[in-house]
Amino acid sequence: MNRDAQLRTYEKIEEKIRELPWYVAEFIQKKMRTMSPATLLNYCHDYLIFFDWLVAEGFWTGHRRDVPLDTLEKLTVPQIEDFLSYLQFRLDNTPLTVNRKISALKSLFHYLQNIAETDDLEPYLTRNVMAKIELNAVKEDQETIAQKMAGKILWHEEYEQFRRFVAHDYGVLVQDNKKLFNFYQRNRERDTAIISLILGSGLRLSEVVGLDIDDLDLKKFSARVIRKGNKEQYVFFSEQALLDLKEYLAVRKQKYQLDDKTRALFVSSPMGPKGASRRMTPRAVEKMVEKYAKAFGKPALSVHKLRHSFATRYHAENNDVPKLRRQLGHASIQTTMIYTHLTNDELKKAVDKMDQNKAL
């Protein structure tokens, strides 16, 4: 996430914590040094839902920001279970989403009980109900998740087919629709560069939209990104991604009417009364990928599935999990191990081929 995007996120966080109790605001501000702004903003959303529920259920009469600490201290396990049922059945949250909210609350309650102190050196909370709450058991193992993912990513020749579709074939498909064709022609190089970069590096959506011109090192085939946890890292990309980036950079300034002050790498077409271009938003990139994926015949393909596609191809060709983990920016190697399950079919084919050669 670039500095401008970080500042905008911090502004949103400040706006949210004004609607939350003072002790929640204190917790968020303490965490700003160690947690990413995107994670903290998600925490704020989760806390707003929780405190709104407390008010709606009558645990406190008044505004959510005035909920006192003793209200939290008196909460029981059955009451928290009611909240989790509310998340699952009323808000239609998945077990993984509920787990994220449980984790957010556990972090807050842990801070209030074990870290924060009054002037008398007493903890804010002496009783922590969230310590008694277990995370949902997510029953799917990595192999099951991998098999579900397998039909939604690109395989083998599909990598280049999809890249070429964005770079050329989509234009042939919509050439009779003047509006669609003109929009495609205006953004063809940009869209191709984005698709090619993700397929050639495995960057996350936030990392792609956060790139500035100065983050690219075209001689070293690398890009400087800020990963989760605000960690800076240089990530390599493929030779094809380099070629597509160069083609986009050659037309970027003229096509998008940019001055030298605009450092964002991927920008939108000029819009509005002032006709100004601006950094592409994550949603704009998602919609762009969705458009091409649907036309290509793989509507389930998304930005994250392109990242999975890169990782699956990398593992199949290199079989080096530690290097893949670094390339993807995974905190845990267990997360990276899912791609070993995705390539099980490739291993089976290799074994089958050995048997066939032996028979010959």
Q: Which residues are catalytic?
A: 204, 228, 304, 307, 330, 339
Q: How many CB atoms lie within 10 A of CB 270?
A: 15
23 closest CA partner among 141, 149, 109: 109
Helices (H), 19-157: 22-31, 37-56, 69-73, 77-85, 95-110, 142-150
Residue appearing with tokens 């950094």: 279
For the chain, how many residues are written?
360
Tokens of 167: 């770079």
Query: Distance (Å, rounded) from C-alpha 240 to C-alpha 8?
Result: 33
Tokens of 98: 């509920």
Residues 6+ apart with CB under 8 A from 288: 187, 191, 194
44 closest CA partner among 63, 67, 21: 21
Tokens of 325: 């983990």
281 closest CA partner among 291, 266, 292: 266
| 11 neighbors 216 (Cβ within 8 angstroms) | no
Sign of the torsion angle spanned by Cα atoms 324, 329, 334, 335:
negative
Three-state SS annotation for 108-137 = HHHHHHHHCECCCCCECCCCCHHHHCCCCC
Buried b / exposed e along 171-190 (16+ C-beta atoms within 10 A)? eeebeeeeebbeebeebbbb
